[in-house]
Protein backbone atom coordinates (compact mmCIF):
# COMPACT_ATOMS: atom_id res chain seq x y z
CA UNK A 1 0.00 0.00 0.00
CA UNK A 2 1.24 3.48 -0.91
CA UNK A 3 0.67 6.13 1.77
CA UNK A 4 1.31 9.86 1.57
CA UNK A 5 1.34 11.69 4.90
CA UNK A 6 0.83 15.45 4.63
CA UNK A 7 1.49 18.05 7.31
CA UNK A 8 -1.08 20.73 6.54
CA UNK A 9 -0.25 24.39 7.28
CA UNK A 10 0.57 24.90 10.96
CA UNK A 11 1.97 28.43 10.77
CA UNK A 12 0.46 31.62 9.42
CA UNK A 13 1.40 32.51 5.87
CA UNK A 14 5.13 32.90 5.35
CA UNK A 15 6.00 32.84 9.08
CA UNK A 16 9.60 31.78 9.59
CA UNK A 17 9.00 29.81 12.80
CA UNK A 18 8.46 26.31 11.40
CA UNK A 19 8.95 22.98 13.10
CA UNK A 20 9.89 19.54 11.85
CA UNK A 21 6.66 17.44 11.75
CA UNK A 22 7.42 14.79 14.37
CA UNK A 23 3.94 13.26 14.15
CA UNK A 24 3.95 12.23 10.51
CA UNK A 25 7.64 11.24 10.63
CA UNK A 26 6.89 8.93 13.57
CA UNK A 27 3.80 7.47 11.90
CA UNK A 28 5.75 7.04 8.67
CA UNK A 29 8.09 4.70 10.52
CA UNK A 30 5.17 2.69 11.94
CA UNK A 31 3.67 2.32 8.48
CA UNK A 32 6.99 1.33 6.89
CA UNK A 33 7.34 -1.33 9.56
CA UNK A 34 3.90 -2.69 8.58
CA UNK A 35 4.98 -2.97 4.92
CA UNK A 36 3.64 0.28 3.43
CA UNK A 37 5.55 2.45 0.97
CA UNK A 38 5.51 5.90 2.59
CA UNK A 39 6.25 9.46 1.53
CA UNK A 40 5.95 12.66 3.58
CA UNK A 41 5.10 16.22 2.56
CA UNK A 42 5.25 19.27 4.83
CA UNK A 43 3.23 22.08 3.24
CA UNK A 44 4.84 24.60 5.62
CA UNK A 45 8.18 24.52 3.81
CA UNK A 46 6.80 24.65 0.28
CA UNK A 47 6.80 27.91 -1.69
CA UNK A 48 3.57 26.76 -3.38
CA UNK A 49 2.01 24.40 -0.80
CA UNK A 50 -1.12 23.41 -2.73
CA UNK A 51 0.82 23.05 -5.96
CA UNK A 52 3.26 20.79 -4.11
CA UNK A 53 0.37 18.63 -2.86
CA UNK A 54 -1.03 18.19 -6.37
CA UNK A 55 2.39 17.40 -7.83
CA UNK A 56 3.12 14.77 -5.17
CA UNK A 57 -0.31 13.18 -5.52
CA UNK A 58 0.11 12.77 -9.27
CA UNK A 59 3.71 11.60 -8.99
CA UNK A 60 3.31 9.13 -6.12
CA UNK A 61 -0.32 8.01 -6.67
CA UNK A 62 -0.98 7.01 -3.04
CA UNK A 63 -3.75 4.64 -2.06
CA UNK A 64 -4.17 6.46 1.27
CA UNK A 65 -3.51 10.09 2.16
CA UNK A 66 -3.07 11.08 5.80
CA UNK A 67 -3.70 14.72 6.70
CA UNK A 68 -2.21 16.02 9.93
CA UNK A 69 -3.66 19.18 11.48
CA UNK A 70 -1.18 20.23 14.15
CA UNK A 71 -2.64 23.65 15.10
CA UNK A 72 -6.13 25.01 14.62
CA UNK A 73 -4.79 28.58 14.71
CA UNK A 74 -1.48 30.37 15.29
CA UNK A 75 -2.40 31.49 18.86
CA UNK A 76 -0.36 34.52 20.07
CA UNK A 77 -3.49 36.73 20.13
CA UNK A 78 -3.99 36.25 16.39
CA UNK A 79 -7.40 35.88 14.80
CA UNK A 80 -6.42 33.94 11.67
CA UNK A 81 -7.32 30.24 11.43
CA UNK A 82 -5.46 27.23 10.08
CA UNK A 83 -8.69 25.28 9.55
CA UNK A 84 -9.48 26.68 6.05
CA UNK A 85 -6.22 25.44 4.47
CA UNK A 86 -6.80 22.04 6.10
CA UNK A 87 -10.29 21.84 4.58
CA UNK A 88 -9.03 22.96 1.18
CA UNK A 89 -6.25 20.36 1.26
CA UNK A 90 -8.80 17.62 1.89
CA UNK A 91 -10.91 18.85 -1.02
CA UNK A 92 -7.85 19.06 -3.29
CA UNK A 93 -6.80 15.49 -2.52
CA UNK A 94 -10.31 14.21 -3.24
CA UNK A 95 -10.41 16.15 -6.49
CA UNK A 96 -7.02 14.98 -7.78
CA UNK A 97 -7.26 11.35 -6.58
CA UNK A 98 -10.96 10.57 -5.98
CA UNK A 99 -10.24 6.89 -5.29
CA UNK A 100 -7.69 7.56 -2.53
CA UNK A 101 -8.81 7.14 1.08
CA UNK A 102 -8.34 10.13 3.38
CA UNK A 103 -7.45 9.74 7.05
CA UNK A 104 -7.12 12.78 9.33
CA UNK A 105 -5.24 13.20 12.59
CA UNK A 106 -2.97 15.50 14.57
CA UNK A 107 -3.36 17.45 17.78
CA UNK A 108 -5.58 20.10 16.22
CA UNK A 109 -7.85 17.49 14.65
CA UNK A 110 -8.04 15.66 17.99
CA UNK A 111 -9.69 18.70 19.60
CA UNK A 112 -12.55 18.89 17.05
CA UNK A 113 -12.79 15.50 15.27
CA UNK A 114 -16.53 15.37 14.69
CA UNK A 115 -16.79 18.98 13.66
CA UNK A 116 -13.87 18.75 11.20
CA UNK A 117 -15.18 15.56 9.63
CA UNK A 118 -18.54 17.25 9.11
CA UNK A 119 -16.79 20.26 7.58
CA UNK A 120 -14.70 18.01 5.31
CA UNK A 121 -16.92 15.22 3.96
CA UNK A 122 -13.96 14.03 1.83
CA UNK A 123 -12.32 12.56 4.95
CA UNK A 124 -13.13 8.87 5.34
CA UNK A 125 -11.62 8.27 8.80
CA UNK A 126 -9.90 10.13 11.58
CA UNK A 127 -7.72 9.11 14.49
CA UNK A 128 -7.50 11.13 17.68
CA UNK A 129 -4.61 10.88 20.10
CA UNK A 130 -1.70 8.51 19.56
CA UNK A 131 -1.85 6.67 16.25
CA UNK A 132 1.31 4.54 16.10
CA UNK A 133 -0.76 1.38 16.63
CA UNK A 134 -4.20 2.42 15.40
CA UNK A 135 -3.19 3.80 11.98
CA UNK A 136 -1.42 0.64 10.69
CA UNK A 137 -4.35 -1.43 11.99
CA UNK A 138 -6.82 0.84 10.22
CA UNK A 139 -4.98 0.64 6.91
CA UNK A 140 -4.95 -3.14 7.18
CA UNK A 141 -8.77 -3.16 7.28
CA UNK A 142 -10.00 0.00 5.56
CA UNK A 143 -13.26 -1.47 4.32
CA UNK A 144 -14.34 -2.84 7.70
CA UNK A 145 -12.09 -1.58 10.50
CA UNK A 146 -12.35 -3.13 13.96
CA UNK A 147 -12.94 -1.11 17.13
CA UNK A 148 -9.65 0.77 17.25
CA UNK A 149 -8.66 3.23 19.94
CA UNK A 150 -9.09 6.78 18.77
CA UNK A 151 -10.91 5.83 15.55
CA UNK A 152 -13.37 8.35 14.09
CA UNK A 153 -15.68 6.69 11.56
CA UNK A 154 -18.79 7.74 9.67
CA UNK A 155 -21.97 5.93 10.65
CA UNK A 156 -24.92 6.96 8.53
CA UNK A 157 -25.19 10.72 8.87
CA UNK A 158 -23.23 10.75 12.12
CA UNK A 159 -19.63 10.29 13.20
CA UNK A 160 -18.62 7.80 15.87
CA UNK A 161 -15.53 8.63 17.93
CA UNK A 162 -13.77 5.96 20.00
CA UNK A 163 -11.77 7.16 23.02
CA UNK A 164 -8.05 7.54 22.26
CA UNK A 165 -5.37 5.25 23.64
CA UNK A 166 -2.94 7.66 25.34
CA UNK A 167 -1.11 4.65 26.65
CA UNK A 168 1.86 3.97 24.38
CA UNK A 169 4.67 2.57 26.50
CA UNK A 170 7.51 4.98 25.80
CA UNK A 171 10.05 2.22 26.37
CA UNK A 172 8.77 0.95 22.99
CA UNK A 173 8.81 4.39 21.36
CA UNK A 174 10.27 4.33 17.85
CA UNK A 175 12.00 7.62 16.95
CA UNK A 176 10.77 9.48 13.85
CA UNK A 177 12.09 8.09 10.57
CA UNK A 178 14.05 11.15 9.50
CA UNK A 179 15.08 9.64 6.17
CA UNK A 180 11.49 10.23 5.04
CA UNK A 181 11.92 13.99 5.47
CA UNK A 182 15.41 15.46 5.56
CA UNK A 183 16.01 17.58 8.72
CA UNK A 184 18.42 19.72 6.67
CA UNK A 185 15.35 21.34 5.07
CA UNK A 186 14.69 23.03 8.42
CA UNK A 187 18.19 24.31 9.05
CA UNK A 188 18.44 27.97 10.02
CA UNK A 189 14.79 28.91 9.47
CA UNK A 190 13.83 29.68 13.09
CA UNK A 191 14.97 32.43 15.44
CA UNK A 192 12.73 31.62 18.43
CA UNK A 193 12.59 27.85 18.93
CA UNK A 194 14.82 25.21 17.30
CA UNK A 195 12.82 23.50 14.53
CA UNK A 196 13.96 19.96 15.36
CA UNK A 197 11.96 18.51 18.24
CA UNK A 198 12.73 15.60 20.53
CA UNK A 199 10.07 13.78 22.56
CA UNK A 200 11.37 12.64 25.92
CA UNK A 201 7.97 11.85 27.43
CA UNK A 202 4.22 12.08 26.98
CA UNK A 203 1.48 12.97 29.42
CA UNK A 204 0.99 15.87 31.82
CA UNK A 205 -0.30 15.58 35.42
CA UNK A 206 -0.76 19.31 35.98
CA UNK A 207 -4.08 21.14 35.97
CA UNK A 208 -3.56 24.45 34.12
CA UNK A 209 -7.08 25.75 33.53
CA UNK A 210 -6.59 26.66 29.85
CA UNK A 211 -4.51 23.66 28.71
CA UNK A 212 -5.46 20.65 26.58
CA UNK A 213 -2.26 18.61 27.03
CA UNK A 214 -3.85 16.24 29.61
CA UNK A 215 -6.75 15.68 27.20
CA UNK A 216 -4.42 15.00 24.27
CA UNK A 217 -1.74 12.94 26.01
CA UNK A 218 -3.35 11.79 29.26
CA UNK A 219 -2.33 12.68 32.81
CA UNK A 220 -0.03 9.70 33.30
CA UNK A 221 3.55 10.68 32.53
CA UNK A 222 5.34 8.15 30.33
CA UNK A 223 9.09 8.68 29.98
CA UNK A 224 11.56 7.43 27.39
CA UNK A 225 14.79 5.89 28.70
CA UNK A 226 17.30 8.77 28.88
CA UNK A 227 20.00 6.89 26.94
CA UNK A 228 17.56 6.42 24.02
CA UNK A 229 16.79 10.14 23.98
CA UNK A 230 20.50 10.88 23.77
CA UNK A 231 20.94 8.19 21.11
CA UNK A 232 18.42 10.05 18.95
CA UNK A 233 20.08 13.42 19.51
CA UNK A 234 23.55 12.03 18.88
CA UNK A 235 22.38 10.33 15.69
CA UNK A 236 20.78 13.51 14.37
CA UNK A 237 23.90 15.48 15.19
CA UNK A 238 26.18 12.96 13.50
CA UNK A 239 24.07 12.07 10.44
CA UNK A 240 22.34 15.38 9.69
CA UNK A 241 24.47 17.99 11.41
CA UNK A 242 21.64 19.08 13.73
CA UNK A 243 23.08 21.26 16.47
CA UNK A 244 19.98 22.70 18.17
CA UNK A 245 16.99 20.83 19.61
CA UNK A 246 13.71 21.61 21.34
CA UNK A 247 12.35 19.12 23.88
CA UNK A 248 8.65 19.00 23.00
CA UNK A 249 7.43 17.80 26.42
CA UNK A 250 4.63 19.79 28.09
CA UNK A 251 7.05 20.13 31.05
CA UNK A 252 10.60 18.97 30.46
CA UNK A 253 11.89 18.94 34.06
CA UNK A 254 9.10 16.77 35.47
CA UNK A 255 9.24 14.11 36.82
CA UNK A 256 12.24 15.05 38.89
CA UNK A 257 15.43 13.35 37.72
CA UNK A 258 14.44 12.44 34.15
CA UNK A 259 15.79 15.52 32.36
CA UNK A 260 18.74 15.46 34.74
CA UNK A 261 19.58 11.91 33.62
CA UNK A 262 19.37 12.97 29.97
CA UNK A 263 21.74 15.85 30.69
CA UNK A 264 24.21 13.64 32.54
CA UNK A 265 24.24 11.30 29.54
CA UNK A 266 24.84 14.23 27.16
CA UNK A 267 27.75 15.37 29.32
CA UNK A 268 29.15 11.84 29.70
CA UNK A 269 29.15 11.28 25.93
CA UNK A 270 30.38 14.83 25.21
CA UNK A 271 27.56 15.43 22.72
CA UNK A 272 28.13 19.07 21.73
CA UNK A 273 24.60 20.25 21.01
CA UNK A 274 22.28 23.01 22.22
CA UNK A 275 18.71 22.58 23.40
CA UNK A 276 15.80 24.38 25.02
CA UNK A 277 12.62 23.32 26.77
CA UNK A 278 9.68 24.49 28.85
CA UNK A 279 10.52 24.13 32.53
CA UNK A 280 8.35 24.11 35.63
CA UNK A 281 9.48 26.76 38.12
CA UNK A 282 9.00 24.74 41.33
CA UNK A 283 11.20 21.92 39.97
CA UNK A 284 13.97 24.31 38.94
CA UNK A 285 16.83 24.58 41.42
CA UNK A 286 20.43 25.71 41.59
CA UNK A 287 21.77 22.20 41.03
CA UNK A 288 19.79 21.30 37.93
CA UNK A 289 20.16 24.82 36.49
CA UNK A 290 23.93 24.32 36.50
CA UNK A 291 23.59 20.81 35.06
CA UNK A 292 21.24 21.97 32.29
CA UNK A 293 23.68 24.72 31.34
CA UNK A 294 26.62 22.31 31.31
CA UNK A 295 24.65 19.92 29.10
CA UNK A 296 23.99 22.55 26.43
CA UNK A 297 20.76 24.31 27.43
CA UNK A 298 20.64 27.61 25.53
CA UNK A 299 17.26 28.87 26.76
CA UNK A 300 15.22 28.32 29.91
CA UNK A 301 11.59 28.72 28.79
CA UNK A 302 9.24 29.38 31.70
CA UNK A 303 5.47 29.57 31.43
CA UNK A 304 4.20 30.63 34.86
CA UNK A 305 1.29 32.32 33.04
CA UNK A 306 -0.01 34.09 36.12
CA UNK A 307 1.47 37.54 36.82
CA UNK A 308 0.38 37.48 40.46
CA UNK A 309 -0.93 35.09 43.12
CA UNK A 310 -4.57 35.71 42.19
CA UNK A 311 -3.94 34.88 38.53
CA UNK A 312 -1.84 31.84 39.38
CA UNK A 313 -4.72 30.54 41.50
CA UNK A 314 -7.39 31.19 38.86
CA UNK A 315 -5.26 29.40 36.26
CA UNK A 316 -4.76 26.51 38.72
CA UNK A 317 -0.99 26.66 38.21
CA UNK A 318 -0.30 25.44 41.77
CA UNK A 319 2.63 27.84 41.91
CA UNK A 320 3.36 30.87 44.05
CA UNK A 321 4.86 34.24 43.15
CA UNK A 322 7.84 33.16 45.24
CA UNK A 323 8.31 30.07 43.02
CA UNK A 324 8.35 32.24 39.90
CA UNK A 325 10.79 34.80 41.27
CA UNK A 326 13.06 32.16 42.79
CA UNK A 327 13.33 30.48 39.36
CA UNK A 328 14.04 33.87 37.78
CA UNK A 329 16.78 34.57 40.30
CA UNK A 330 18.45 31.21 39.64
CA UNK A 331 18.13 31.55 35.86
CA UNK A 332 19.48 35.10 35.90
CA UNK A 333 22.65 33.90 37.64
CA UNK A 334 23.55 31.61 34.71
CA UNK A 335 24.84 32.37 31.22
CA UNK A 336 21.68 30.86 29.68
CA UNK A 337 19.01 33.02 28.05
CA UNK A 338 15.54 32.98 29.64
CA UNK A 339 12.07 33.52 28.19
CA UNK A 340 8.89 34.03 30.24
CA UNK A 341 5.30 33.50 29.09
CA UNK A 342 2.35 35.16 30.86
CA UNK A 343 -1.41 35.34 30.37
CA UNK A 344 -3.02 38.80 30.56
CA UNK A 345 -6.53 39.79 31.64
CA UNK A 346 -7.25 36.44 33.24
CA UNK A 347 -10.62 35.91 34.98
CA UNK A 348 -10.89 38.14 38.03
CA UNK A 349 -8.46 40.82 36.79
CA UNK A 350 -8.62 44.02 38.88
CA UNK A 351 -6.65 47.24 39.17
CA UNK A 352 -4.78 45.64 42.06
CA UNK A 353 -3.79 42.52 40.07
CA UNK A 354 -2.74 44.72 37.14
CA UNK A 355 -0.39 46.66 39.40
CA UNK A 356 0.99 43.40 40.80
CA UNK A 357 1.55 42.15 37.24
CA UNK A 358 3.51 45.28 36.40
CA UNK A 359 5.69 44.75 39.47
CA UNK A 360 6.26 41.11 38.49
CA UNK A 361 7.64 42.07 35.07
CA UNK A 362 9.76 44.86 36.59
CA UNK A 363 11.18 42.43 39.14
CA UNK A 364 12.04 39.81 36.54
CA UNK A 365 13.92 42.43 34.52
CA UNK A 366 15.68 43.59 37.66
CA UNK A 367 16.87 40.03 38.26
CA UNK A 368 18.26 39.70 34.72
CA UNK A 369 19.66 43.16 34.10
CA UNK A 370 23.16 42.44 35.41
CA UNK A 371 23.86 39.62 32.94
CA UNK A 372 21.37 40.82 30.33
CA UNK A 373 20.20 37.26 29.78
CA UNK A 374 16.46 37.89 29.45
CA UNK A 375 15.46 37.03 25.89
CA UNK A 376 11.86 38.22 25.95
CA UNK A 377 8.60 38.26 27.87
CA UNK A 378 5.69 36.81 25.87
CA UNK A 379 2.27 38.25 26.75
CA UNK A 380 -0.90 36.55 25.52
CA UNK A 381 -4.60 36.52 26.16
CA UNK A 382 -6.06 33.10 26.90
CA UNK A 383 -7.23 31.10 23.87
CA UNK A 384 -10.48 29.43 25.02
CA UNK A 385 -10.37 25.75 24.07
CA UNK A 386 -13.14 23.17 24.46
CA UNK A 387 -13.24 20.94 27.52
CA UNK A 388 -11.10 23.22 29.68
CA UNK A 389 -12.03 24.90 32.98
CA UNK A 390 -11.49 28.26 31.27
CA UNK A 391 -14.24 27.40 28.78
CA UNK A 392 -16.61 26.64 31.67
CA UNK A 393 -15.69 29.88 33.41
CA UNK A 394 -15.94 31.93 30.21
CA UNK A 395 -19.44 30.62 29.59
CA UNK A 396 -20.44 31.26 33.20
CA UNK A 397 -19.20 34.86 32.96
CA UNK A 398 -20.84 35.42 29.57
CA UNK A 399 -17.54 36.01 27.76
CA UNK A 400 -18.67 33.37 25.26
CA UNK A 401 -22.22 32.34 24.59
CA UNK A 402 -23.91 29.06 23.65
CA UNK A 403 -23.47 29.83 19.94
CA UNK A 404 -19.77 30.82 20.14
CA UNK A 405 -17.72 28.69 17.74
CA UNK A 406 -14.53 27.69 19.56
CA UNK A 407 -13.12 26.08 16.42
CA UNK A 408 -12.01 29.55 15.42
CA UNK A 409 -9.84 31.97 17.46
CA UNK A 410 -11.69 32.96 20.63
CA UNK A 411 -9.87 34.71 23.47
CA UNK A 412 -10.73 35.52 27.06
CA UNK A 413 -10.29 39.30 27.04
CA UNK A 414 -13.34 41.09 28.43
CA UNK A 415 -13.68 44.73 29.43
CA UNK A 416 -12.46 46.74 31.27
CA UNK A 417 -8.92 45.33 30.95
CA UNK A 418 -9.03 44.30 27.30
CA UNK A 419 -6.15 46.66 26.44
CA UNK A 420 -3.98 45.89 29.48
CA UNK A 421 -1.74 43.65 27.37
CA UNK A 422 -0.59 46.66 25.34
CA UNK A 423 0.41 48.49 28.49
CA UNK A 424 2.47 45.50 29.59
CA UNK A 425 4.01 45.15 26.14
CA UNK A 426 5.13 48.79 26.27
CA UNK A 427 6.71 48.16 29.68
CA UNK A 428 8.43 44.97 28.51
CA UNK A 429 9.70 46.57 25.30
CA UNK A 430 10.96 49.62 27.16
CA UNK A 431 12.86 47.55 29.71
CA UNK A 432 14.29 45.33 26.99
CA UNK A 433 15.43 48.19 24.74
CA UNK A 434 16.95 50.23 27.54
CA UNK A 435 18.70 47.16 28.98
CA UNK A 436 20.67 46.81 25.74
CA UNK A 437 21.00 50.55 25.10
CA UNK A 438 22.55 50.97 28.55
CA UNK A 439 25.12 48.32 27.67
CA UNK A 440 26.01 50.22 24.48
CA UNK A 441 26.25 53.46 26.44
CA UNK A 442 28.71 51.84 28.84
CA UNK A 443 30.74 50.46 25.92
CA UNK A 444 30.87 53.91 24.31
CA UNK A 445 32.01 55.44 27.60
CA UNK A 446 34.75 52.84 27.96
CA UNK A 447 35.97 53.53 24.43
* pLDDT exceeds cutoff 80 at 16: no
The predicted structure's pLDDT at residue 26? 96
What is residue 281's DSSP assignment?
G
Q: What is the pTM of this model?
A: 0.94
The predicted structure's pLDDT at residue 172? 86
Q: Output the DSSP codes for 336-365.
A: SEEEEEEE-S-TT--HHHHHHHHHHHHHHH
Kindly provide the b/e burial profile for residues 228-261, where b requires at least 16 CB atoms within 10 angstroms of the residue's own CB.
Answer: bbbbbbbebbeebebebbbbbbbbbbbeeebbbb
The predicted structure's pLDDT at residue 436? 79
* pLDDT exceeds cutoff 60 at 443: no
> Closest Cα to residue 424, out of 310, 328, 343, 321?
343
> Closest Cα to residue 354, out of 425, 417, 426?
417
Banded model confidence at residue 231, pLDDT cuts 50, 70, 90: very high
Domains and CATH numbers, the chain: 2-161 (3.40.50.2300), 192-446 (3.80.30.20)
Kindly provide the b/e burial profile for residues 133-162, where b requires at least 16 CB atoms within 10 angstroms of the residue's own CB.
Answer: bbbbbbbeeeeeeeebbbbbbeeeeebebb
Banded model confidence at residue 444, pLDDT cuts 50, 70, 90: low
Q: Output the DSSP codes for 177-208.
A: -GGGS-GGGGTT--SSS-S-EE--EE------
Banded model confidence at residue 445, pLDDT cuts 50, 70, 90: low
The predicted structure's pLDDT at residue 169? 87
Average pLDDT over residues 70-95: 96
For the stretch 270-326, pLDDT in tens is 999 999 999 999 999 999 999 999 999 999 999 999 999 999 999 999 999 999 999
Banded model confidence at residue 442, pLDDT cuts 50, 70, 90: low
For the stretch 131-181, pLDDT in tens is 999 999 999 999 999 989 999 999 988 999 999 987 788 988 999 999 999
Banded model confidence at residue 447, pLDDT cuts 50, 70, 90: very low
For the stretch 332-384, pLDDT in tens is 999 999 999 999 999 999 999 999 999 999 999 999 999 999 999 999 999 99
Average pLDDT over residues 209-225: 94
Amino acid sequence: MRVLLIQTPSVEGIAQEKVYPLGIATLGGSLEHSGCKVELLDMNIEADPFGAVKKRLLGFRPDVVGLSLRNIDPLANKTSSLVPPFLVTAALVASVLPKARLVAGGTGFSLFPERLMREAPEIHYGIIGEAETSLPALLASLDNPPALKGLCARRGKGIHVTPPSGGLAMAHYAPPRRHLLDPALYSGINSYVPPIGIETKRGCPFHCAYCVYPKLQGRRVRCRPPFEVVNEMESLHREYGVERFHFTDPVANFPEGHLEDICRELVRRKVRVKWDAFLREDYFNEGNAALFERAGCECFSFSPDGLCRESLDVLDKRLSERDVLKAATLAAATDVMSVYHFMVNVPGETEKTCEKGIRMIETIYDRHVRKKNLGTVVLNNIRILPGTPIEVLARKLGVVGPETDLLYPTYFNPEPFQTFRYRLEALHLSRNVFMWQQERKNEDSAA
